[in-house]
Amino acid sequence: MARTPDACSELLLDNQLCFALYSTSLLITKVYKPLLQPLGLTYPQYLALLVLWQEDGITVGEISARLLTDPGSLTPLLKRLEAEGLLRRIRSTTDERVVELYLTEAGWALQAQARRIPSCIAEASGQDMAQLMALKEQLNALRDGFQHKR
């Protein structure tokens, strides 16, 4: 027997913040894909490189914290970047449990090629840079609110 949907507006899919974020994330990742293909990168690899271009020589734990991911799930991605000659993973001389990450020349060279990506994303969004930066700040505040609840 079919049920008649309730007019429960708080449970409508289109009224859910989580769905707006999820569906936007899916679409933005699709926009990134053809931009990253010429660089030979996946979106998660690009995020890791963004962190390293900002702070080379950090540990796996530090990059994991920046990307809000588990170090164990990040390790295979970093091993692939190392196999592709974009970074070196070096055990710390003071604590062998710690792995430090250093970009190679090839890893640094990708930075110049990636410079065009943010403007391509802005153009694809149909928003101007001020709108995108305001949205980014709102999303950062939302993320920070959820982080402090854990």
Q: What is the pLDDT of residue 9?
A: 86
Q: Taking the domain 38-115, which CATH number applies?
A: 1.10.10.10
Q: What is the pLDDT of residues 8-46, one digit of tens each?
A: 888 899 999 999 999 999 999 999 999 999 999 999 999
Q: Does the reported pTM lie above 0.85?
A: yes
* Rounded alpha-carbon distances, angstroms, from residue 47 to 15, 81, 92, 111: 29, 12, 23, 12
| Separation of alpha carbons 84 and 43, rounded Å | 15
pLDDT at 133 over 90: yes
Q: What is the pLDDT of residues 93-104, one digit of tens each?
A: 888 889 999 999
Q: What is the pLDDT of residue 7?
A: 66
Domain range list for the chain = 38-115, 117-150
Q: What is the pLDDT of residue 46?
A: 98
